Amino acid sequence: MNILRGILPFLLMILLSSSIKANINTTKSHPTTSFSESSKTKVSKTAFVERLERRSFSMDVTYNKDVKKFVEKYISKDRTGTELLLGRQTTFLPIFEKYIEEFQLPRELKNLPIIESALNPNAESQVGAKGLWQFMPSTGRMYGLTINDYVDERCDPVKSTIAGLSYLKDLYAKYGDWKLAIASYNCGPGRVDRAIKKAGKSSFEGIKKFLPKETRGYVAKFIATSYVMDNYFFHDLRPIYPEYTLQFVKVVKVYKRATLKKIAKQTGMSLEIIQKLNPSYRKGIIPPSADGNFIIIPIFGEELSIG
């Protein structure tokens, strides 16, 4: 039985790898290749728009020079970086997709943490924003995230995702336009409000020149990122996956006080892996919680017996 348990992870990896390859091969033979590019590092405007429309993209797609610049960066100038991002998605995408579906939000919002943090839950900006969704402390606390000496839930992949999507849902309710909601996520609703007042208009294109340069580029980058993450196979990009213990994970809730060291021991996984998957616990201690704390563990580990 122990031998079987030892080889199961590797059998699963082989099966998943075969499935991924089959899906990619099927997609490449899709009839839409009739407008495929002559070069893997180029994309025509027609192909770009049709591919996003086929994915029911929630924004009005504008393929302008700014969007084109970011697409070319992803598929040509920084191909290795893009392939690393594609592989890194395997850890976090199921979490994003679960809550996007629960919140009934556009599926492409799963790409926002890519441009916010490059899918690094420990990412921290020069101004103090942190985590996958890059929350400032004040906004994080406003959306229910605990930040203290022991825990920084901005780095919690699950809780920060719930907070990030809640914030985006509120921004969309305020503006009724996803480009404006995403712009305000970057520069703050105050700046967007002032731009609307100056321009006398309420569309992103109408107020764009009154927004910070970074925000104008942010919306273009979001559109470009959404295109590339869904259509990378047309450009011969191949995901570079992290080690399998970081790829295939599950989320469990823990209510009692525990330590990451204890969780590592119970699951049979290394402490380093458990720490990488749960970076919000600054001192390796999970506090007790009546609502429960989320813990991410590899699916290959033993079951937790912590309540």
Angle at 158 between CA 175 and CA 250, to 5 degrees: 140
130: phi then psi, degrees, rounded to nearest 5 = -145, 155
- CATH code of the domain covering residue 252: 3.10.350.10
The 10s digit of each residue's pLDDT in 87-137 is 999 999 999 999 999 999 999 999 999 999 999 999 999 999 999 999 999
pLDDT of 49 reads: 84
Domain final residue, candidates 210, 235, 260: 235
Same domain, 215 and 254: no
In a domain, 307, yes or no: no
Q: What is the CATH number of the domain that holds 72?
A: 1.10.530.10
Q: What is the pLDDT of residues 269-305, one digit of tens each?
A: 999 999 999 999 999 999 999 999 999 999 987 787 7
Q: Say how far apart CA 269 and CA 1 lie, in whole Å.
A: 19
Q: Is 109 exposed, middle or buried (0-12, 13-18, 19+ CB in 10 A)?
A: buried
Closest CA to 191 of 167, 175, 173, 170: 175
Same domain, 80 and 176: yes
Report pLDDT for 54. 83
> How do residues 35-88 score in pLDDT, each as one tens digit?
344 457 688 888 888 888 888 788 888 889 999 999 999 999 999 999 999 999
Full domain range(s) for residue 79 = 22-30+37-235
Q: Quick one: 65 and 210 in the same domain? A: yes
Arithmetic mean of pLDDT, 232-242: 95
